[in-house]
Structure 1
Amino acid sequence: MWKPLPLLAALLAVAACAPPQAATPAATQTSSLQRNAEALQAKLRRTPQDAAAWAQLGATHVELARVTFDPQHHPRAEKALTESLRLKPEGNGEAFVGRGALANARHEFAAARDWGQRAVAVLPDSAAAQGVLVDALTQLGDDAGASVALQRMLDLRPGVASFTRAAYHFELHGRLDEARGAMERALESATTPDQAEFCRLHLDELAGRDRPPETYRELVSKAPSPEHLVKYGKALDKAGRSVEARAQYDLALQQLRALGGDDLTAALIAADHGDPAEALRFAEKEWAKRQSVFTADALAWALHVNKRSAEALPYSDRAVALGWRDPEVLRHREAILGSLR
């Protein structure tokens, strides 16, 4: 049985003794990753048979895609990781981790789980390998497996990556006080301004505090991901700026249609701001890939907006089965229940 509270309390005491690290601006982080990629490319021109360097280059491109929201880094990552595995197909833990991280970024969660399991078999003491598993298993709806991997990750490396995952895990189980505690610990562990801002943003969301649209406009200017565009749109809606909000939703949906992969977000946007039939197509496609609380909520809502609330209710039940009480999920559920009264 996973017992995170004693562990988190112990980690707080231990990590409080660690010396603080200097913060690094986001632009500096991107430049550092780019320099690392260039250095690895130069090294590989001299030693093209270096499987480890290819794996490191692939992982760097995965991270560059994350911090810049530039999907062009994904095929570069795949090319480098494929070459690493060609040179060293067995026991190549770094490449397994990189392929798992890439698969998670592309929302290919079953593949990410498989790569994560291969990585853990080779690198049982790698927090990064456990992180790949946590992300994949959470999205696939394997709560027990995600709990085990998360506990192992916390054991191995208590830091921003593990504490933010712990906060998410607690939130999905309706344990908001513990989610806030884990996110506060993540904030204390943050080493860059972007990490700190991410933690503060989610602490506000956990506390139910609304941020002004300008906060999200700045976030979108740094990383115009569909997720951030949707948050910006919601903040604009709450501020009564519905025309501007609709522009953000439309842009997010355009990105999702172009990039593919994230049918979950596309389903939710289309259900609220687009075509109900398209929303249901997106939701059913995502449900075929993974049966998590997230996809259960999206499918329930898509069915509801298509006037199929009786079919939606079992999926809504599944969405809250772990204890998840996200305001949007509760709004969806109340509407579904209300239509059946």
Structure 2
Amino acid sequence: MRKSLRKPSFGLALAATLMAICVVVLGSFTRLSHAGLGCPDWPTCYGHIWAPQTAIDIAIANETYPEIPVNLAKTWPEMVHRYLATGLGLFIVALVIMAIRHRREHNQPLKLPLLLLCLVLLQGAFGAWTVTLKLWPQVVTAHLLGGFTTLTLLAILTLRLSGNRFSAFAQIKQFHKPRQLAAWTLAVVLMQIFLGGWTSANYAALACTDFPKCQTQWWPEADFETGFDFAHPIGPNYEGGKLAVPARTAIHLSHRIGAIVASVFVLGLAWALIGVRQRGWAALLVGLLAVQVALGISNVVFSLPLSVAVLHNLGGALLLVTVALINVLLNRKDPIYV
């Protein structure tokens, strides 16, 4: 019987990846349910480890933070998200410890767990700044990108630790086109996720409430200069957004155009994979893309239902993970093992 090539920390990495999915989902739920400022301080919530519960504590909290009164319906998603993210950080610390202990083993990743540790520490800082800077769009978008990147790197680490054979992908190295197209697709998907995050952070998802037109026009008034002015001042409370309608329209239209471009690249990559007999990965790409497009249209047509919006965020994360894994498999140095 062939000796298992699975690394000792595979199960830990898989658990961390699943937890990262939960963190991404809950983070999007917190943001989209307008609970990002459910707790106006950090790391506590109105000075409590969970939230003020008694009438006296709530009264004191409201007096301390009169601009953000206690809303227990918003405090729980914020605090659950914080504790779940902290738990993910502990998983990553454990992965680093395991990587150091087994660093002399063949194909044991060390740099990737260390990179994840740096990233999760940065994510903690972004989480704090999201609250203390009152949903400053730049930080909110960076926090979303950081969460998606953390999930993606954990998925890559899990794949590398699994010890699975992907010998069929070794044959694809003969073809330059799939590798080059995969790299471009990854860049385009990342840009589209940034546009989605910028749309959400600036509350521009409902700048267009009809589809395929926008405000009953093919090209309504749009202020791209203001919409993509990244010099928002620090200080105001950005909950609900501060931009005028033309600026939000410009952001929304950019996200729609980005979706078209990303769809072309993803479909092109799927076609290229079919050409090198990787129909399973191609089908996965097309399926994720179809679901993501349907969810995006549903967000507009049905006025941003919370469940649909959260699934749209999850779909973007899963599409990014899939494209990233394809890039890893196409570009790995070892012809047999990941």
Higher helix proportion (structure 1 or 2): 1
For Structure 1 versus Structure 2, the TM-score category normalised by the shorter chain is under 0.3
TM-score when scaled to structure 2? 0.23
Larger radius of gyration: 2
Structure number with higher relative contact order (C-alpha < 8 Å, ≥ 6 residues apart): 2
TM-score (norm. length: structure 1) = 0.23
